[in-house]
């Protein structure tokens, strides 16, 4: 592993940190979007957008039901 002079491994890892956000829209045509924030001050950048496969997996249907009920009493 190459390290710049004077930088600890933790510092190098911190410099390469990214925030990844995954969004999945509801039916009838669910779409997956992946955003990556390189933490450079320019905000999140769209890395991928793709329609979900049809038919959607059972796990997607369970997620939609749970998400639609979130916050409701």
Which tens digit of pLDDT belongs to each residue from 10-68? 676 777 789 999 888 887 788 989 999 998 899 999 999 999 878 877 777 665 555 55
Residue 1 pLDDT exceeds 70: no
- Flag whether 40 is in a domain: yes
Q: Note whether residue 36 is domain-resident.
A: yes
Q: Kindly state whether residue 39 falls inside one of the protein's structural domains.
A: yes
DSSP assigned state of 72: -
Q: Give the SS3 label for residue 64.
A: helix
Domain for residue 57, yes or no? yes
Residue 7 resides in a domain? no
Q: Is residue 65 part of a domain?
A: yes
In the chain, how many domains are there?
Answer: 1
pLDDT at res. 46: 96
Domain that holds residue 27: 18-69
Residue pair 36/45 in contact (Cβ under 8 Å)? The answer is: yes
Residue 3 falls within a domain, yes or no? no
Higher pLDDT, 53 or 4: 53
* Residue 12 covered by a domain: no
Q: What is the pTM assigned to this prediction?
A: 0.61
């Amino acid at each position: 592993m190459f390290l710049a002079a004077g930088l600890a491994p933790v510092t190098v890892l911190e410099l390469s940190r990214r925030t990844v956000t995954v969004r999945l829209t509801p039916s009838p045509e669910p779409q997956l979007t992946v955003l990556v924030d390189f933490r450079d001050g320019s905000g999140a950048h769209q890395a991928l957008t793709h329609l979900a496969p049809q038919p959607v997996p059972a796990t997607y249907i369970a997620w939609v039901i749970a998400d639609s009920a979130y916050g409701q009493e």
